[in-house]
Structure 1
Amino acid sequence: MDQNTRIAVIGAGIAGLTVAGLLQQQGYQVRVYEQAARFWRIGAGIILGASTAKVMRRLGIEDGMVRAGIKPDAFVSRDVASGRILNELVFDAAREADFGGPFVNIHRADLHRLLVSRLKPGTIHFDHRLDGLDEGPGAAVLSFDNGERVEADIVIGADGIHSRVREAILGREPPRYIGKVALRAVFPSARAAGVPMRDCTKWWGADRHLLAYFMTDRRDECYVMAAVPSEEWGADTPPAPGTREDFLSAFPNAHPDLTALLEAVDNVSLLPICDRERNDVWSAGRAVLMGDACHAVRPFMAAGGSMAIEDAAILSRAIAACDSPEAAFRTYVANRVPRVGDVQRISAENSWLKLPGDTGWFFGYDPFTDTLDHAA
């Protein structure tokens, strides 16, 4: 499409910033509209594999991502009760060469900062909450709650699981609570001094699990996230503060290594885990969805962020390769749905990396060299 194409991205999260950066790199006019008044250091950790490192490489921030985060020595799976190692995927130089990039743990806010640095000044417009999206005679018309109205040739909905752009395309439907609550904590590693802990470990129980990892190579900050069954929560239950006891009571018969780590937990929060039923309708007219707005997945494969970043690469390629929004969206969806569908299924199974198996199809994928099949 012509580089005069006006592109509006709704949402300045990881998905929106990545696609905006890639499109600006190709010369497109891009504006990002964010409902928040400003950015601040929120969120916790995120795990990114080699497929996403290739996107960061294209943006020129791969080295910065590695410096801000940590390249873990391995992803280790252990049994909650016995402590037995079930799987150990080592991330040495040979494995990195096989995958074509590193495996990185990083704080979301640090990744976010790097992505913002790749945008032209004035790209992000804060205090813009989308109220309406209409198809005009020659453009989409966006209405914001601050009274501003904007026209765009393409609207990209990167506004998360509660996406307003999704509502405009598919109608209003709440996210689906999956019957589990997330317990999360970020705390100084000094609180767990002497506790055996690898760079990235997932502890597996019969109906629950816990993921623990460092977020920088200083190893001075630890992130712990558990998924535990609960009938007391729902999709609309707001996040709430928790306690160390919430973690300990969720894993009463844990191996001493895990119990010792949980004794050090501090700054706990609780929130419902939600996803959406699979729906492969990702676009309508001049509007298209990406990331959690169209394929919110359960966080059991640590792949939600990776899928959003890959979406950005394929969508930006499709926009550049096609002569109309409709053709670009068809191409994007045709190329993304099969891969995302596999990730949705495996995430729901909660089986990824529990035992040794093929990982090259996921980590070795390159969204820039993969053939872009043009949908009819």
Structure 2
Amino acid sequence: MSNGKERIAIIGAGLGGAVAGALLQHAGFDVNVYEQAPSFSRLGAGIHMGPNVIKIFERIGVAEKVVSISSTPSHWFSRDGISGDYRSRIPLEGYGATYCTVHRGDLQGIQCDALQPGTLHFGKKLTRIDDNGTDVLIEFEDGTSVRADIVVGADGINSRVRETLLGAEKPNYSGWVGHRALISSDKLRKYDLTFEDCVKWWGPDRHMMVYYTTARRDEYYYVTGVPHPAWEFDTAFVPSSREEMFSEFEGYHPVIQALIESTDEVTKWPLFNRNPLPLWSRGRLVLLGDACHPMKPHMAQGAAMAIEDAAMLTRCLQETGVNNFATAFGLYEANRRDRATRVQTVSNANTFLLDQEDPSWVYGYDLYAEPLKSEKAA
């Protein structure tokens, strides 16, 4: 349905925005991506990319490259954080594609490289959007502006595009923080302990997720979920310390103690959330990913949902064309809301894969094999 001339602007070049841009460009649309960061850098830490996402990466020709730089665990292990007893051993193979754990920055670099040259613009912090009914005026902090036929808000939990649709509203602090640290695997060799490829250590009220982030298995990453009554800081994260980590995980398994002891630098991040939004689009503006349905990271599917959103939005725009964007946006929401809401609910509950279960509803999902249901059917 695309004539290659429709102008689509994507706000945010994170994991969802970059993939949305590449998918839409591969489908023949005229797309530019605007990112507020001044340049690309290897930010972030580890991330999971399940088979449900790798199937989407195949569409833009980056699946093999992603797999080649990733750790590819055969199982997700869940263990009691104190005794070390196994709660579950979940196979990660047999879902039609590879399960990957990778550094977020390395992954984002591959995604950005999949965009057409000259279509990714850094240093573009959004200040104002005006949907006048005919097109959309987008203004940036650097004084520049562009116009587009439609705008995709892929700008995260503090989305300015969402704010334009629904008004200013701070996200909800969840009462949890996550500690993040990368550890050189060389530091772990001195221990007579087993450091598994992908394992979640569960305590009564906290957890630690641990996995390798490279194919070389030279970088081991942990992220925690720990109760914390209030977030007292104005920054996105604050430094933490080994001492704080030892205090938070006192009495836990020797593997956890070894990980903390091997940590050079650890940061602490608040976990925010939002209630389900009453709408995903209005006029010529549409949301995806954390701008639309943020969730706690306990299921390792937040970025995956943004990427699935990007694929479904592309599929719907291919079906209708940009000139019929209202129908495309209605189809997109009708075909994404139930799944995104289910994943959001399970992730927030922090029960996924604690005990032996079948995760095929997550990993076995093939977005392109699902028939599009109509807006009315939803």
**TM-score, normalised by the number of residues in structure 1:** 0.96
Contact kept, 8 Å, 2:151 with 2:284, in 1: the verdict is: yes
Map of 2:26 onto structure 1: 25
Listed as ranges, the matches of 1:91-170 within 5 Å are 91=92, 95-96=93-94, 99-170=95-166
Contact kept, 8 Å, 1:235 with 1:274, in 2: the verdict is: no
Listed as ranges, the matches of 1:223-234 within 5 Å are 223-234=221-232
RMSD, aligned α-carbons: 1.3
Contact kept, 8 Å, 2:183 with 2:221, in 1: the verdict is: yes
Listed as ranges, the matches of 1:259-338 within 5 Å are 259-323=257-321, 324-338=324-338
Whole-Å separation in 2 of the counterparts to 1:277 and 1:104: 29
Listed as ranges, the matches of 1:42-53 within 5 Å are 42-53=43-54
Which residue, 186, 205, 208 being the options, matches 2:206?
A: 208
Runs ≥4 residues deviating over 4 A: 234-237
Deviates more, 1:235-244 or 1:293-302: 235-244
Query: How many angstroms does 1:374 deviate by?
Result: 2.5
1:289–1:235 distance in 2 versus 1, CA, 3 Å: farther
Whole-Å separation in 2 of the counterparts to 1:258 and 1:40: 29
Map of 1:370 onto structure 2: 370
Which sections of structure 2, spanning at least 5 residues, go unmatched?
A: none
**TM-score, normalised by the number of residues in structure 2:** 0.95
- Quote the sequence identity (%): 41
Contact kept, 8 Å, 2:133 with 2:284, in 1: the verdict is: no
Whole-Å separation in 2 of the counterparts to 1:225 and 1:348: 16
Structure 1 counterpart of 2:345, which letter? R
Which sections of structure 1, spanning at least 5 residues, go unmatched?
A: none
Structure 2 counterpart of 1:168, which letter? T
Contact kept, 8 Å, 2:208 with 2:225, in 1: the verdict is: yes
1:182 partnered with 2:174: no
Q: Deviations over 1:70-92 (max 9, x none)?
A: 1112110000111100001123x
Partner of 1:259, secondary structure, is helix
Query: How many angstroms does 1:51 deviate by?
Result: 0.4
Whole-Å separation in 1 of the counterparts to 2:157 and 2:163: 11
Whole-Å separation in 1 of the counterparts to 2:233 and 2:163: 17
Listed as ranges, the matches of 1:2-13 within 5 Å are 2-3=2-3, 4-13=5-14
Structure 1 counterpart of 2:121, which letter? H
1:141–1:235 distance in 2 versus 1, CA, 3 Å: farther
Partner of 2:110, secondary structure, is helix
Query: How many angstroms does 1:238 deviate by?
Result: 3.7
Partner of 2:176, secondary structure, is strand
Contact kept, 8 Å, 1:209 with 1:226, in 2: the verdict is: yes
1:299–1:235 distance in 2 versus 1, CA, 3 Å: farther
Deviates more, 1:269-278 or 1:256-265: 256-265
Contact kept, 8 Å, 2:2 with 2:28, in 1: the verdict is: no
1:291–1:125 distance in 2 versus 1, CA, 3 Å: same
1:198–1:295 distance in 2 versus 1, CA, 3 Å: same
Query: How many angstroms does 1:236 deviate by?
Result: 4.2
Contact kept, 8 Å, 2:8 with 2:30, in 1: the verdict is: yes
Deviates more, 1:228-237 or 1:33-42: 228-237
1:132–1:268 distance in 2 versus 1, CA, 3 Å: same
1:242 partnered with 2:240: yes
Whole-Å separation in 1 of the counterparts to 2:233 and 2:10: 26
1:56 partnered with 2:54: no
Aligned positions, number: 371
Deviates more, 1:134-143 or 1:325-334: 134-143
